[in-house]
Chains A and B, each alone.
Chain A
Amino acid sequence: MVDGKTTTVSVDLSIPVQADLVVLARLTAATVAGRAGFGVEDIEDLRLAVEELCLSLVCSREDGRLHLTYECEDDSITVDCSYEAAGGESGTPGRDADDLSLRILDALVDEHGRDVRDGRPSAWLCKRRAAATA
């Protein structure tokens, strides 16, 4: 909080859908959360949650791009991820995230969801900073 105003940091990342590049999505999540002062436990939770968010959209696809936006406010980080099919065409919605992914997301983040925006399959999550314990 600066002068009573909420501080927001926004980072955009766009990566080709390639198994060995999904690591960039979770590295960015860790970096954004670390710079925002999130604790180690929260950062590790976010890393895994962002991985699952990406996997829920990528499924078995091997083309197109993932567009991620990380928005960090004082006590929370929101990650929005959308899939753009190759050639900029609208992507078909992916399968529902599998049961293991859903259990992981349910456990590690405060909110998450899926929708279709501008014809693109999208998924998002919100992770709030863990309350300090006495």
Chain B
Amino acid sequence: MRRKKRKGDGGGTGRPVDPPGDAIVHAEGLSKTHRGDRAPVHAVRDVDLTVRPGEFVAVTGPSGAGKSTLLHLVGGLERPDAGRLWIGGERVDGHDEARWAVLRRRSVGVVFQFFNLVSHLTVADNVELPALLAGASPRAARASREELLAELGLDGREDALPAALSGGEQQRVALARALVNQPALLLADEPAGSLDGKGTRDVLRLLARFHARGQTILMVTHDARMASAADRVISFFDGRIADDAPLGDPAPARPGVTGVLDLND
């Protein structure tokens, strides 16, 4: 199998001892096996991964390939059985839950397929809560919340409860919550997985907008249209990276790009 390795990604032999200084995510030999009633599932096997500042990386692959587990490991939502992990240059694979909670609050925003908003809190409170927990003043939390909700087209929805919102709106609230502390890394696990076409386009457009401003994003998706918004796509198969492809920056689509019609070749 051809596997293109970038300098500094490590892999196989000769792994670097220290992570590249500027990496937002750096993982070496990350492994996770799920042990339930059935045979053990090797969800992530000896994976090396580096995400640099400002990158938008999509991880795609069939369901059950382990891509969500990989994202959970990077966000500290699951612990690896083996391997080393750095977030923003800080070694984190030995962190306990309390330290992970602090790290996520400060540096890692997460959005999930099913939004996971706090159902009895208003939209405003859902977004302000992580800011307050991170030590922001109520006034600052409120200002950040107002700015983000306006940006995400949720003006006037501050006092609504999540259940009163459409799926697309709930995901935008979740995005605001994930970004309120200006995390160095945004993790997105199938962010459009439960949305309709319009909701999907909205989420995609917003992710692209934050990425254009420099937000580092690691997203898991089975949807190639979502993945193609990223500038690097990792194909994940059977717990391993099968391909790691930078997407080109094609010339701006010229009028009448014949590619559309060539699709039926």
The answer to whether A binds B is no
A interface vs B, CB < 8 Å? Answer: none
Residues of B within 8 A of A (CB): none
